[in-house]
Amino acid sequence: MSMAKTNGKRGSLMYEVLKGIDFEERQLIGKKKDLGLFDLVKDPQGALRCYACTLCERTCPVDCIDIDYCPEFDALPWDPAAEKAAIAEAQPDVDMKLFDAVIAKLRDGSGLIEALHTTQETYGFLPRRALEGIAEEIGVKLGHVYGVATFYRQFRLEPVGKHVLSVCMGTACHVAGAPLIVEALSQELEIPVGGTTSDGLFTLQTVNCIGSCALAPAVRIGEEETLGRMTPNEVRRYIRKLRRSEEA
């Protein structure tokens, strides 16, 4: 990293830039509140590709993006309160009485990670209302809780199907044909990896290992059942049989 004199002292140019930024708040220290730095993508001719549609501002889960409208474009009407109300209305309806167990554990000394695990065990995913409740209880910003929840792949922010199909992609399973199992399930269910069927019955995901190398390639159904030495045709038959049992 290059070095340069700054205020009479030798120091890193990058350090001089970074020390003036509050990363928790995403803002410049000493500047207008909520003023952030955004390096807009440019097209090959050098023109900025931001059209001030405000979509990123509207959908930001932690409200850290603030767009200043370009003077050559008319400002789009936007009611922040109405937008947040619409987001809240679009969230899946959850029973917050079940969230009392999470709060009780937090007050008994459990940490953020344990609270997220308990919440997901309770609801099957992490509802936004629960994340807000955790942030309020432990006294941190929603962005901090959201950042932890999205950092670890085992946490889910969307509801999953009744049956979660986890295809092991560990070395043994991968060599034994796990990619073909994933392709067969994706075609049979008509969803990508990470997707959920429209009827809410199945969610397809891949995992690094389920500890069943001797059964490779293996597929775990929920947390209890494990299917071993599967073939594409076998998993197709299993899904069709399971779907028929649900429809009966």
pLDDT digits (tens, 9 = 90+) for 111-146: 899 999 999 988 888 998 899 999 999 998 888 898
Query: pLDDT confidence of 19, banded at 50, 70, 90?
Result: low
Average predicted confidence (pLDDT) for the chain: 79
Question: What is the per-residue pLDDT for 171?
Answer: 93
CATH class of 163-247: alpha beta
Domain boundaries of the chain, sorted by first residue? 3-88, 96-151, 163-247
Indicate whether this model's pTM tops 0.85: no
Question: What is the per-residue pLDDT for 70?
Answer: 57
Residue pLDDT, tens place only, 210-225: 888 999 999 999 877 8
Residue pLDDT, tens place only, 22-76: 544 444 455 555 444 455 556 677 666 665 666 677 767 777 777 665 555 565 5
Is it the case that residue 198 has pLDDT exceeding 60? yes
Question: What is the per-residue pLDDT for 124?
Answer: 85
* Largest separation between any pair of C-alpha atoms in the chain: 79
